[in-house]
Chains A and B, each alone.
Chain A
């Protein structure tokens, strides 16, 4: 009786013309990752956000999405890389970014607005601007990370983005080795996203009952496409992390 290995070789040889290596597992590509600057999240993602792919950071208001994205950009800009923040809701706060360690000179900020000039106009117009801006930035190349901030956009509007658009972004991000981070209240990119992080507020940290000096956030890995083959026990899919206020960090320093 032939052994299993010999049988497998025989079948593969027979099917070689139609299906090369039909029964041999495809070697998995281990993706390059970029650290987020939050050790708990890096541990959850096996190193950080994947380079050349779409990562989605989702959650409601005050769930730590922006803090996590700024921490990621801080790591990128401090490594002499250039990043972009496409702000569909014009909600970006440069002071918070600077406090997080983002080198603002290396950050291109695109503030979308409605044609009338009012930032809080029709959401689809601003969303359209943001998508066009992402297209241009991805085509230009050279940006290590681009954040598409749809954090204040209602999920109904975000879900209207065609899947073809996300597919195009995924291809362009892969070609230009750019981390495209999408902030939103829900996941929009579906199968085009390499990683989906679901954030949730946990608890505030106070000092003396009168000062808010930090937050704890909960983060859960909703989806991860390029996970390397794991041996042994799996890591927990959720974790918590904390963000402190800027003045608190200065005092500690």
Chain B
């Protein structure tokens, strides 16, 4: 008894299936995929409903448009590449050894499933589970299981259901298949037709020596294939794990709802694929091809990797709302970076901090209200220039305790932008100043504090600061920070003490 066992997964009419994978609302409707240059496009792939409506391969667009109810979509190589990656990802859950055997518009993979009985049960169970996984991923595929590589491949390509061929019954299982399954060259196919040989069973019954004498050594391979005894050296492919989804819109899309509708399905698919490997999504990259040939790219990085679909969709929505594309969208690509599933160790006595994923959404909403660069944590710049800081994104990771403050300090409240004022000097000390509200007498002035640097560059400064006490309009005393720009000889009110 052979130790070998193969399962072939065959997704026929793959261009049409790839187009319909993310368009679930069209999956029950007749759909045909067109390829070629307009107006000479022809049908290259179609689903069963379209076939029942009378559509056939090679039909021109004009003929296909004449069929009532048949939806015509343009074939997309990128969509197919994304769908192939998903299909491969799906089948790789059942075996690490996979060989690709694609033919024309069929995407097929043969899995070496020998030794998987303890994991998935008998071959029938494995085949059913495999089919269920493919259906969940949005594919309709036929599956054949056999101890012979070619038998599994040929049977899967010609059937629509799950077939498990017991060992020793390969010839019988293939007997009714037509010779077209072997993809013979036209002259050989004609020869067999003249001989009256139409099925693999009839080919298998021919005497080997006489067949080779008439058609050459290649006839031995055909006969072995027909008998189900042809050998094959398995050439496994290395399945690259990329989380990428692509969608080509039929017409340019301007509404955000339409983008999110597709985005939600893409996120669903990406989360399912990442979860299958016990991973989470650490970042999402949105790329949109816009009308006019421009690209629009945004990157979303949650504080912690997540597989929460609603949370990721909310982040996507807020990101697109904050940075909407400047033209209609032609295609939408969502690429995810996988990360380890987030684990936050909470302490019984640790102070409460915001939940990272919820905080992400809150910050995105705050940015939508106040502005992109106006929400975050301030970081002081390494300079002596007064009031220099930059904003950085806020996160709760790495919250640490600091040294105890020694007491309250004088605090400034900045005027942004500073208010230009005219200052009256008494000798060298400010005595009064005038702003838009009127004249203000200065009762005391302390200073100056002089600072200057970067004279060699455009950002250089040469300033004098004065702490002054002035009378406010309501009679109270206000402590102000007046700054004189010595290079321009201008005064401005920078801040007040509070």
Overall SS of chain A's interface: mixed
Inter-subunit contact B408/A38 (CB<8 Å): yes
Inter-subunit contact B479/A212 (CB<8 Å): yes
Interface range for B: 35 or more
Q: Is A144 an interface residue (CB 8 A)?
A: yes
Q: Is A55 an interface residue (CB 8 A)?
A: no
Inter-subunit contact A100/B409 (CB<8 Å): yes
Q: Which 8 pairs between the two chains have the least Cβ-Cβ distance?
A: A101-B405, A142-B354, A94-B378, A66-B498, A140-B362, A111-B374, A91-B413, A96-B411
Q: Which of A38, A91, A245 contacts B410 (CB 8 A)?
A: A245
Give bound CA distance, A153 to B439, whole Å: 22
Quote the shortest CB–CB distance from B469 to chain A (angstroms).
6
Chain A residue contacts of B239, Cβ below 8 A: none
Inter-subunit contact B472/A100 (CB<8 Å): no
Chain B residue contacts of A215, Cβ below 8 A: 410, 479, 497
| Given A90-B414, A133-B369, A142-B353, 6 additional A-B pairs, CB 8 A | A71-B407, A78-B402, A92-B414, A99-B409, A140-B355, A245-B409
Chain B residue contacts of A123, Cβ below 8 A: none
Inter-subunit contact B472/A93 (CB<8 Å): no
Give bound CA distance, A152 to B398, whole Å: 34
Residue of B nearest to A199 (CB): B498
Query: A34-48, CB under 8 A of B: which get 1 and which 0?
Result: 000110000000000
Chain A residue contacts of B457, Cβ below 8 A: none
Q: Is B345 an interface residue (CB 8 A)?
A: no
Inter-subunit contact A107/B377 (CB<8 Å): yes
Give bound CA distance, A140 to B447, whole Å: 45
How many residue pairs at the A-B interface have CB separations less than 8 Å? 231
Inter-subunit contact B467/A212 (CB<8 Å): yes
Inter-subunit contact B379/A104 (CB<8 Å): yes
Quote the shortest CB–CB distance from B496 to chain A (angstroms).
6
Residue of A nearest to B350 (CB): A80
Q: Is B343 an interface residue (CB 8 A)?
A: no
Chain A residue contacts of B472, Cβ below 8 A: 60-61
Q: Is A64 an interface residue (CB 8 A)?
A: yes
Query: A62-96, CB under 8 A of B: which get 1 and which 0?
Result: 11111110110011011111100000011111111
Residue of A nearest to B448 (CB): A210
Query: A120-142, CB under 8 A of B: which get 1 and which 0?
Result: 10000000010011001101111
Residue of A nearest to B395 (CB): A105
Q: Is A98 an interface residue (CB 8 A)?
A: yes
Inter-subunit contact A107/B412 (CB<8 Å): no
**CB neighbors of A among B340-376 (8 A):** 350-355, 358-359, 361-363, 365-366, 369-371, 374-376
**CB neighbors of A among B381-404 (8 A):** 386-387, 389, 391, 394, 396, 398-404
Q: Is A143 an interface residue (CB 8 A)?
A: yes
Give bound CA distance, A62 to B470, whole Å: 11
Inter-subunit contact A96/B409 (CB<8 Å): yes
Inter-subunit contact B405/A66 (CB<8 Å): no
Chain B residue contacts of A70, Cβ below 8 A: 408-409, 411
Inter-subunit contact B374/A137 (CB<8 Å): no
Inter-subunit contact B394/A108 (CB<8 Å): yes
From B369, B401, B415, B444, name the one whose CB has the most chain A CB atoms within 10 angstroms: B369
Can you report 9 residue pairs joining A to B where beta carbons are below 8 Å apart? A61-B476, A62-B476, A66-B413, A94-B389, A109-B375, A152-B413, A177-B352, A211-B446, A245-B410
Query: A223-253, CB under 8 A of B: which get 1 and which 0?
Result: 0000000000000000001111110010011
Q: Is B489 an interface residue (CB 8 A)?
A: no
Chain A residue contacts of B479, Cβ below 8 A: 62, 201, 204, 212, 215
Q: A92-B414, A94-B389, A95-B380 are in contact. Are A37 and B407 (CB under 8 A)?
A: yes
Quote the shortest CB–CB distance from A112 to chain B (angstroms).
6
From A91, A144, A206, A246, name the one whose CB has the most chain B CB atoms within 10 angstroms: A91
Chain A residue contacts of B400, Cβ below 8 A: 80, 103
**CB neighbors of A among B471-498 (8 A):** 472, 474, 476-479, 495-498
Quote the shortest CB–CB distance from A53 to chain B (angstroms).
16
Residue of B nearest to A81 (CB): B351
Chain B residue contacts of A143, Cβ below 8 A: 354
Give bound CA distance, A203 to B307, whole Å: 58
Inter-subunit contact B405/A100 (CB<8 Å): yes
**CB neighbors of A among B140-170 (8 A):** none
Quote the shortest CB–CB distance from A104 to chain B (angstroms).
5
Q: A68-B408, A92-B414, A136-B365 are in contact. Are A110 and B380 (CB under 8 A)?
A: no
Q: Is B416 an interface residue (CB 8 A)?
A: yes
Q: A66-B413, A96-B409 are in contact. Are A111 and B375 (CB under 8 A)?
A: yes
Give bound CA distance, A211 to B380, whole Å: 25
From B353, B391, B410, B474, name the one whose CB has the most chain A CB atoms within 10 angstroms: B410
From A64, A120, A212, A243, name the one whose CB has the most chain B CB atoms within 10 angstroms: A212
Quote the shortest CB–CB distance from A36 to chain B (angstroms).
8
Q: Is B406 an interface residue (CB 8 A)?
A: yes
Chain A residue contacts of B411, Cβ below 8 A: 66-67, 70, 93, 96-97, 100, 243
Q: Which of B354, B377, B447, B496 contacts A62 (CB 8 A)?
A: B496
Chain B residue contacts of A210, Cβ below 8 A: 446-447
Inter-subunit contact A132/B369 (CB<8 Å): yes
Q: Which of A65, A111, A245 contacts B498 (CB 8 A)?
A: A65
Give bound CA distance, A81 to B353, whole Å: 7
Give bound CA distance, A94 to B94, whole Å: 56
